[in-house]
């Protein structure tokens, strides 16, 4: 089964956001780089997706004009099989990614990147609904604390646990980097 790694929104734009912290960044970078390196070693294509949205101004970190729509500095370099820009939560909406996947005979996706509960989860649900098998590589995703409606904190760890629970066995196989790489071979 031909597999592809989809690296979603792992971009410098997030460093410009008020919620950005380095708290979970080292663990994410280590996992993401291990996944990248493993896919490169196995010849698994890697697709890079960047979020581009909002006014086309240098002051908007998600605009190309800002210079922040580029890979996180800590990520290992690789030759992307393709690069797509998205303006919606799902990387499959309006980008041409779905066409590229079909044209390249991709049957299974490994999902990783930023944010765990937002673009990674949404892309996973969408991909599953249209027929791709999905390995959701939870340790190679990153998110940050959020607030409940009452103002209390919903921690990044709780967000990741919730995402894993709602995706598991319905939309994706929740897996570690090692398991995703082992599954990419077949």
Q: Where are the domains of the chain?
A: 3-184
**How far apart (Å, rounded) are the C-alpha atoms in residues 30 and 164?**
20
Mean pLDDT calculated for residue range 78-94: 98
For residue 92, the model assigns a pLDDT of 98
Closest C-alpha among 123, 125, 134, 56 to residue 95: 123
Q: Count Cα atoms within 13 angstroms, Cβ side, for 30.
A: 6
Beta bridge partners of 6: 47, 111
Among 141, 140, 142, 123, smallest CA distance to 132 is for 123
pLDDT digits over 108-120, tens only?
999 999 999 999 9
Please check whether residue 4 is in contact with residue 109, taking contact to mean a CB–CB distance below 8 angstroms: yes
Percent of the chain with pLDDT over 70: 99
Strand partners, 142: 114
Contacts of 100 (CB under 8 A, 6+ apart): 47, 81, 82, 84
Superfamily of domain 3-184: Isochorismatase-like (3.40.50.850)
pLDDT (mean) for 60-85 = 98
pTM exceeds 0.85 for this model: yes
The predicted-structure confidence for 120-147, as pLDDT tens digits, reads as follows: 999 999 999 999 999 999 999 999 999 9
Mean pLDDT of all residues in the chain?
Answer: 97
């Amino acid at each position: 089964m031909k597999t592809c790694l989809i690296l979603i929104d792992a971009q410098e734009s997030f460093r410009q956001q008020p919620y950005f912290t380095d708290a979970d960044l080292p663990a994410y970078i280590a996992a993401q780089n291990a996944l990248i390196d493993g896919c490169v070693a196995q010849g698994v294509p890697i697709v890079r997706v960047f979020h581009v949205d909002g006014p086309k101004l240098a002051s908007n970190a998600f605009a190309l004009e800002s210079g922040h729509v580029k890979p996180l500095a800590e990520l290992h370099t690789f030759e992307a099989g393709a690069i797509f820009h998205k303006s919606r939560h799902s990387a499959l909406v309006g980008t041409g990614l779905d066409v590229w996947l079909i044209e390249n005979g991709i049957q299974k996706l490994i999902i990783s990147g930023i944010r765990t509960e937002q673009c990674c989860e949404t892309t996973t649900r969408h991909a599953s609904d249209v027929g791709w098998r999905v390995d959701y590589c939870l340790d190679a995703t990153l998110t940050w604390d959020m607030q409940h409606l009452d103002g209390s904190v919903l921690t990044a760890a709780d967000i990741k646990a919730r995402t894993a629970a709602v995706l598991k066995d319905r939309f994706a196989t929740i897996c570690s980097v090692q398991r995703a790489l082992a599954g990419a071979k077949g």
